[in-house]
Chains A and B, each alone.
Chain A
Amino acid sequence: MAQVKVKSVLMTGNQVVVKAALTVGAEMFSGYPITPTTEILSEWAKEAEKDKKLIFLQTEDEPAAGFVMVGGVSMGKKAWTATAGVGNVLMQDPLSMAEAMRMPTVTYVGQRGGPSTGTVVYSQQELNLTRMGGNGEGMRIVYAPSNLQELYDLTIKAFNSAWKYRFPAFILSDGYLAKSYGEVNLWPLKKSDIVPTESAFLNPKKQPNNIRNCFSQEPELYNHLLEDFADFASISEKVAEAEVIGDKNSHILVCAWGVVANSAKTAVDELERQGISVKLFRPITMRPFPVKELQKAAEGVTDILITESANGQFGRIVRETLYGLLEAEIHRLYKPAMGVMPEEIQSKIREVMR
């Protein structure tokens, strides 16, 4: 983005997300307040008050917000929603319909500590729920920002990926990031870089469209699913992203994602200053998961430290991805619904080295 003029602004995570949505052409928002994503509603309401073309609806509950969104998408609007925790649980009802019908939706999730209503700042416990949803196979695209700038960049990507590939997309954030305040480059987007929308209905050039999500014959649904799996597999390599930092030749690999990866980066940098070489693998997309990138990063490694603000939801993905490929020892720093500080990661690594 070296060429374009960027506007650096101080703002909160939630404000960043709304700005990004507007940059990428979002037109409609429906939601139900829940900490830590409530400001998405209030910020969008302010924007919609200024710009009468923007649609805003505060609904009676999360399922309504989600179904209103899907209804809007079906009529060709770039519609999105935001939720968290127990709201994310309820939101899976409309999102499963979006998944079944290949409706491109965008959902911003501010993870909360769970189960149930839990807490509102640190958590990575909505990983399974967001990646896999409810009674489906997780035909979804999930981006995991680790700082304010990435909230902007990855929200834009989520919208474009959703409409390009027609799978529900997510920005999987958390309370800490949502409420963080800092400087962000609000780089502009060329119109040609915005994936356009299309209405499923009332298209004068097309035959009437009858769409459903209930089937009477097993093979009908099965064949649908096979098509979706094939499509998802074909986009996976294009969409999957990861970042590997630190010493490539190190025998110690730290795996972390989201804001915990940010802590891990600080830890890796600090250790490097002290002459200890470590590398960090950090997935940017949680689904599709950057399988090859992790397998490559893990080559020749003797110890792997997995750390997360959950009790192994991420760890299970890492271990499954590396299953049978190496004999490295696995170490865990799991702190469900707690933040993970750089110092803790550093001391855990020192422990591993002993």
Chain B
Amino acid sequence: MKSPRFPDTIKESSKPSNFCPGCGHSIILKNIGQLMADMKIEKKTVFAIDIGCSLLAWDFFDVDTFQTHHGRTTATALGMKRANPDAIILAYMGDGGGYAIGLQNLIHACYRNENITVILANNTMFSMTGGQMAPTTLPGEVTNTTPDGVFTADKPFYGPEMLAREAHEGAYIARAAVSNPGQAYSYMKNAIQNQIDGKGFSFVEILSYCPINWKTDAEGSAKFLEKMKKTFPLGEIKK
């Protein structure tokens, strides 16, 4: 998103990364690394990740990292923050982890205005397990469990909008996309700053590529992301 150079927060061993070529996770992670370096918070931060393709980042950064269970990153992360309010806790997960199995924990973290930052990669699928339907799957989208686009809901799940309804004064909620790097960088920065300022829950959903399960080439991925952007509007939803 910002600089083409790899920040020092990323381990030498993480290049090349474990992610598939063209994966949105590597773009997001690289920029989280850049942010931690730019904000000089790498020594104060614990990075908590889910099970899903995000798990591949368990030793991606030269930063304390806790890989938890599928869907349980939010609860673990807020436990860390409550135990040590001076720490900066960054939780990272997929849309399955955040909106399916872990939604209960996510909503309640928002509702209680827990002072943590959650970054969620929305690629409309459960990617790690081979591309099954997620709550974010678009109407008629073909996935591993929606052959020919059957069994999809007639509208996808709007996570940030839903959270914004329960969010407190001071919470920060936004949606960005890997294809709009400057915006994604600044939303994530706002979210982390929100936590540093002690204002409470912050959340950024990032529309992300999964060329493997989308079965797309570079052009096809870009096209699909544009389609996602039409469904999921980008912007700051609560600040």
Contact = CB atoms under 8 A, between A and B. Distances in A.
B64 A60 contact: no
Interface stretch (B20-28, B54-62, B118-126, B226-234): B54-62
Interface string A32-63: 00000000000000000000000101011101
Given A60-B105, A97-B68, A208 B83 contact: no
Contact of B64 (A57, A69, A208, A213): A208
Contacts of B65: 208-211
B64 A210 contact: yes
B223 interface: no
Interface string B21-63: 0000000000000000000000110101001000100110111
B83 to A, nearest CB: 4
- How many chain B residues sit at the interface, stated as a range, is 20 to 34
Dominant secondary structure of chain B at its interface with chain A? mixed
Contacts of B64: 200-202, 208-210
Given A72-B83, A214-B51, A63 B67 contact: no
Interface residues of A, number: 36
Dominant secondary structure of chain A at its interface with chain B? mixed
A19 to B, nearest CB: 22
- Name which of B62, B63, B64 has the most chain A CB atoms within 10 A of its CB: B64
A199 to B, nearest CB: 7
A77 B83 contact: yes
Given A67-B75, A202-B44, A72 B82 contact: yes
Given A69-B79, A208-B64, A209-B64, 4 more contacts: A64-B75, A68-B76, A202-B87, A212-B59
24 contacts: A55-B83, A63-B72, A63-B105, A64-B105, A68-B75, A68-B78, A70-B79, A71-B79, A71-B80, A71-B81, A71-B82, A74-B76, A74-B80, A75-B79, A75-B80, A94-B69, A97-B69, A202-B43, A202-B84, A204-B43, A209-B65, A210-B67, A211-B58, A211-B65
